[in-house]
Amino acid sequence: MLHLTRRIPARVWVALTAVLGLGAALLGTTALAPRAEAATLTQVSAFGSNPGNLNMYVYRPATLPDNAPLVVLLHGCSQDAATYHAHSGWAKYADSLGFALVYAEQKSANNSSSCFNWFQKSDTARGSGEAQSIRSMVDYAVRTYSLDEERVYISGLSAGGAMASEMLAAYPDVFAGGSIVAGIPTGCASSLLDATTCMFSGRNLTPKQWGDLVRAKNPGWQGPWPRVAIWHGTADAVVTPKNAQSSRDQWTNVWGIGQTPARTANLGANTTVEYYQDSSGRDVVARYLVSGMGHGTPVDPGSGTDQCGTAGAYFLDTICSTYHTIQFWELDGDPQPSPSPSPSPSPSPSPTTPPAGECVTANNYQHVAEGRAYVSYGYAYSVGGNDLLGLWNIYVITSVQETSPGYWERVSGC
């Protein structure tokens, strides 16, 4: 299949690779790393319809029970299935909890940086391109290994995270949940050049507009919708943290709930999480923000129950995101995540009333200097809320309010 990306000039691909932060060093590491999991990570060459021309790999624990869950994993640019399997920590919990893993792997023939083509409609539409190939992998695994088709999940990093969001929107009838790690919301881009805007600055849409981009993938679908975990580092210079807010807005709107969390929690390792609940009180969307972390999958090497993975390029030693995602999906048998919660601010009496907490009006340079904001590509964003404040200088004046300790949101005025 001829992808549109093959007709993009080479200089554009070079520029995109540079902004993704996946240069020669990572390419060399990926190309030379031994495939240590070859004995257990098995390639499946014929898994059904494959219009996206992807590779499929399967990891099956020795003690995999019948009717076990399935987790589909999508690597980042210039990575492959073996790299993601070796570093992400998913194998540890597949072994201990008893579920299967499927890794979809991109080919350089489809994308010169081995990125999933999350910005190409021909690869993200239901029944088309790479989306259909991944769907075929799910069908094959469920049928061949007697897995539970009601407990299929998907997670990915960066371009893989963006593609995971596209898959959740295209196939809400297939996936019970998903995890978007340093990714981008569904429908943000429809071309390679458009993708750079999404990566660097995001798009300013309302929650309903974001939600409509998901609903447009399956007109008439009324649910149920997948449960979605969103992970992002607040110092990500490759994919702006603004996208984590947009993904939160998108999936809470799809679920028909507001953007005020039902509760928040501190998980340690400079990580906070916000839980958003449906009408039954079940957590259906969670946004995890790792303060000070750059672009990558959060891992925490070690032997503890809540530790996993190995550090490497774009696998950052902070917290085991895999462990907490599994808790959120309830694959560990726990009906709800079990961190020590901290109370969320009470809902405001009206949408225009700012929440309680310190409010500061200052220029963006001062906000950054005093720890209320951070800088990404010349723009200031609020710490915690990741709200775009504008250019980082002394001329742009904005107001931010601390809605919970260390969590600042932009407000109209103090």
The type of residue at 38 is A
Q: Decide: helix, strand or coil at residue 398.
A: strand
Cα 345 from Cα 384, distance rounded (Å): 14
> Which H helix or E strand runs over 96?
helix 90-97
Residue 60 is encoded by which pair of tokens? Answer: 């099956």
By the 10 Å C-beta count (0-12 exposed, 13-18 middle, 19+ buried), 166 is classed as buried
Which DSSP helix (H) or strand (E) runs through 164? Answer: helix 159-170
Closest Cα partner for 181 from 75, 257, 97, 285? 75
Contact 169, 211 (CB under 8 A): no
Contacts of 238 (CB under 8 A, 6+ apart): 19, 20, 21, 158, 182, 199, 294, 295
Identity of the amino acid at 355: P
Is residue 75 within 8 A of residue 54, CB to CB? The reply is: no
Active site residues: 158
Helix residue ranges, H only, 290-340: 321-329
Q: Which helix (H) or strand (E) holds 179?
A: strand 177-181
CA dist 240 and 356 (Å) reads 27
